[in-house]
Amino acid sequence: VTYRLAEDALMLETAVSVTRLSWDAVEEAVETADMFVLHFAGRFAYYLPKRVTASHSAAVRHFLRARLG
């Protein structure tokens, strides 16, 4: 899976699919020690492991705060 933080959406891409989650649909982002959890539609979530953000966790944190408030 390839994760991409676009200006208007979170994109998750595999060899056979692309998922686009608009930032307007994200209700909450929670940071844990190991991941960022993006909650949407009341009971669903996408998990962005910090191992894929490598040394960019601070930039991801800033990006999410800017998009979600």
Q: What is the pLDDT of residues 12-64, one digit of tens each?
A: 999 999 999 999 999 999 999 999 999 999 999 999 999 988 889 999 999 99
Residue 16, pLDDT score: 97
Is pLDDT of 69 > 90? no
CA distance 17 to 53: 21
Assign 59 to helix, strand or coil: helix
- Please give the pLDDT value at position 40: 96
